[in-house]
Structure 1
């Protein structure tokens, strides 16, 4: 055990105790953050436009500051890009995080002096909590992969601009720099396949102890390692003990990832976004992510079925209930106000406030009024896969609208690691599971409005090739689980 591992233990205990105390004060912390945000932004352009001088309570805020998506906050972002100050937050942002949205094209999200610690410290806190629960501090002595987008930043109105992961790369603590892989030069490679080959070259003979990334990226990395070495990842890296993942639901990828490793490793889940680091798994042995209630972000929650209503119900943290799906709304010290993240979450505990990400507000199927969401399709598929001993690599679902009663259906595009012995039986199980989760879908099947779903197998690496064809292979890019149209479905026809 080297010096880093020895010093990590008391620091982990200090941070863990602080986080544990924060579980008891979450609601009060949220109230304090709300007051601080309003006070600090009172003299900004946004604050003056929305009467912050007259906001003294959350009720006032709900009345005076409507929920908005990126297109509605974009005019303020444009002022920042023109070089104006005090627009959404005091002064100017220190960065603009560039991200590609599913509906708004390229988005620019401000990061301020006050908000950058949220992005940097939350991942650190998750690992320190892991140390406390597992007793494993040795991984801090080995090599750690923190995959990022290119750390080369452009400038807009003098503000450094780039992918969030590339921005965060500049803030990796100095004591971890010697452990970090891949190298800065490799992280600067833009082409994903070239970059992945370089990462393999740099890591294949190293003492890798922690690997982090979104699950589809890790699977591509593992596949290349196995192909190059002829070994399981766990044999190639005998001291590999911790996998850190987030960005998509882990369940559809878990079985294949562990098979590639050849053994179980501890897994820590994170919930980061360009708009903030919202939650993290504080105990790797328990389900759910601890909401980041004291990190400069004020959270609101809208019942998922109301998010597109003109005047939806808006709830503070104190008002949420376990087991209900909510659209996540944030206001932050980066200057995002009543901002619809586009995610839905569900609390599995309110003492403390732990949640799971259940889907995307704009990724759903409701071509026939069924409003099927991501959590439901993932549950339906993975339950059937477990029962039939089938491994799923990737999938997406789209509606097929046909003329005539009982002719329309949901089409599931699935890349299998191993095909079901009886595809018809597998299909029946998936359909039954979805009907059990979604009463509207069940009614449509029972009423002969819809046929049962159909499965269209996708060839090996078909989804990778599709993402490559649209310039979204690798990094933090994710395939939508659900579409309410046939755009992705039509594009996948050449990958069947």
Structure 2
């Protein structure tokens, strides 16, 4: 059986990961040198005098921090089919993503960067096997809820969503176990696609399920509705593993485990179109192992400095635990000091493990409070169990000019199981936020803000909103925080 054959290889991978994690700082410096040397004759390398870069100080002086807008002039040349723009040759793929400020973005994936994406996913799974001994999932069927694998063509470069590109690079040994079929994966309409996925998996020996939690939840609900069963474990008795990424699992844990009927071992991953950044390497230690030996050179900027003209830039050897950093990537795909918009903090330095704390643009600071995603999710995770509350989905927005009374933060929540006493639940949630954020506490105590207001939304509200936005299914997710009312008002309007 496949599980027996691959177990020795899994232990080799785990030993190699642990060895490299111990050399992370040195490996990062080596990767930086290799990246600069390889790209010195590209247009980007010539424009930024890569030939004169010898130290990290040189690198910071010559390579500016940038986001997609700063990279756009090079991205446009890459899209036109020009070679040697920011990395030698032309990309193997262009990953098409939706940006909040830049519109559609085209992120290059090169033959040199593909092992980062696909080798890292393999390492995460095999490391789990070696750590836990659980490998029966290898002998059954696996489902990956993803976007369409159909590729467009951009001047000869295959172009599509990252999750769809992944389907083209699945190794042969895994493809025979993979569901759904290619034809089903190509269906664009999420609800139609979901029904076909249920058709194809209903009688299968499903052992591993992978996807973004809210869309996995929708899949589970359809399975139970179709079968009349009470739990997913009744449908798939051999289900052994859940792999997820893209959003924090904790707000969804209670509802997903209720649907499954038990706690399912899980592995968290941190993939992005720009690179596979980290993955869970331990079932007992907090945080995700930073992918420090996979063609990415990481830099970190204190999050409150990222908008400065000359922010502090730190290499891996200079970071500290407990600090909120914006993360920058320089990669074998030809991205340089690229700000992906995420914030992280280190949970440990030996090895270097991180947790995602939010998005640079997903915060609330209408009054200077700078509330971040980590804080709202932690408050909800702390308070909800004490009130027997199960949350399906939520988002938070400021109400700056209410019809009466002081401004406030509005929490729009869709419940799986609502609180018996919503007012008490809201009060305790607000107390948790006061404890988590000193600026928020000062505003509450100074009567600049009144305590948060909970708005209960009916079942399906977030799905209807995502449908109206054309973002139902796939890798799309609702932002936890916004510093304006666009999402909150659209949610309300979607119900009208």
Matches within 5 A, 1:285-364: 285-364=284-363
1:186-232 CA-to-partner distances (Å, cap 9, x unmatched) read 11111110000000000011100000001111111111111111221
CA, structure 1 residues 403+262, in 2 after alignment: closer, same or farther (shift >3 Å)? closer
* Offset at residue 102 of structure 1 (A): 2.1
- Are residues 1:388 and 2:387 paired? yes
Separation (CA, whole Å) in 1 of partners of 2:344 and 2:111: 28
1:447-481 CA-to-partner distances (Å, cap 9, x unmatched) read 11111111111110100010000100000001011
Separation (CA, whole Å) in 2 of partners of 1:335 and 1:226: 45
Separation (CA, whole Å) in 1 of partners of 2:467 and 2:177: 30
Separation (CA, whole Å) in 1 of partners of 2:11 and 2:215: 32
Separation (CA, whole Å) in 2 of partners of 1:258 and 1:269: 16
Give 1:68's aligned residue. Answer: 66
Q: Which moved more, 1:283-292 or 1:81-90?
A: 283-292
Which of 173, 176, 183 does residue 178 from structure 1 map onto?
176
Contact 1:211 / 1:244 at 8 angstroms: preserved in 2?
Answer: yes
Contact 1:458 / 1:495 at 8 angstroms: preserved in 2?
Answer: no
Query: When the two structures are aligned, how many residues end up with a matched partner?
Result: 494
Structure 1, gaps ≥5 residues long? none
Separation (CA, whole Å) in 1 of partners of 2:47 and 2:494: 50
Q: Which moved more, 1:185-194 or 1:277-286?
A: 277-286
Contact 2:145 / 2:216 at 8 angstroms: preserved in 1?
Answer: no
Separation (CA, whole Å) in 2 of partners of 1:123 and 1:142: 18
Contact 2:468 / 2:494 at 8 angstroms: preserved in 1?
Answer: no
TM-score, L = length of structure 2: 0.98
Q: Which moved more, 1:315-324 or 1:280-289?
A: 280-289
- Are residues 1:414 and 2:405 paired? no
Which of 30, 33, 39 does residue 32 from structure 1 map onto?
30
Secondary structure at the counterpart of residue 83 of structure 1: coil
Secondary structure at the counterpart of residue 124 of structure 2: helix
Separation (CA, whole Å) in 2 of partners of 1:204 and 1:483: 38
Separation (CA, whole Å) in 1 of partners of 2:69 and 2:148: 26
Give 1:105's aligned residue. Answer: 103
Secondary structure at the counterpart of residue 450 of structure 2: coil
CA, structure 1 residues 403+282, in 2 after alignment: closer, same or farther (shift >3 Å)? closer
1:249-274 CA-to-partner distances (Å, cap 9, x unmatched) read 11100110000000111110000000
Contact 2:67 / 2:338 at 8 angstroms: preserved in 1?
Answer: yes
* Offset at residue 402 of structure 1 (A): 1.9
Contact 1:223 / 1:260 at 8 angstroms: preserved in 2?
Answer: yes
Separation (CA, whole Å) in 1 of partners of 2:241 and 2:127: 13
Which of 5, 26, 45 does residue 43 from structure 2 map onto?
45
* Offset at residue 235 of structure 1 (A): 1.2
* Offset at residue 490 of structure 1 (A): 1.0
* Offset at residue 348 of structure 1 (A): 0.5
Separation (CA, whole Å) in 2 of partners of 1:434 and 1:312: 28
Give 2:136's aligned residue. Answer: 138
Separation (CA, whole Å) in 2 of partners of 1:369 and 1:479: 23
* Runs of 4+ with >3 A deviation: 403-406
1:372-421 CA-to-partner distances (Å, cap 9, x unmatched) read 10001111122110111100000001111127996111111000111101
Contact 1:210 / 1:244 at 8 angstroms: preserved in 2?
Answer: yes
Matches within 5 A, 1:144-223: 144-223=142-221
* Offset at residue 103 of structure 1 (A): 2.0
Contact 1:399 / 1:410 at 8 angstroms: preserved in 2?
Answer: yes
* Offset at residue 286 of structure 1 (A): 2.6
Contact 1:393 / 1:416 at 8 angstroms: preserved in 2?
Answer: yes
Q: CA RMSD for the aligned pairs?
A: 1.2
- Are residues 1:445 and 2:435 paired? no
Structure 2, gaps ≥5 residues long? none
1:291-335 CA-to-partner distances (Å, cap 9, x unmatched) read 000000000001111111111111000011111111111000100
* Offset at residue 285 of structure 1 (A): 3.1
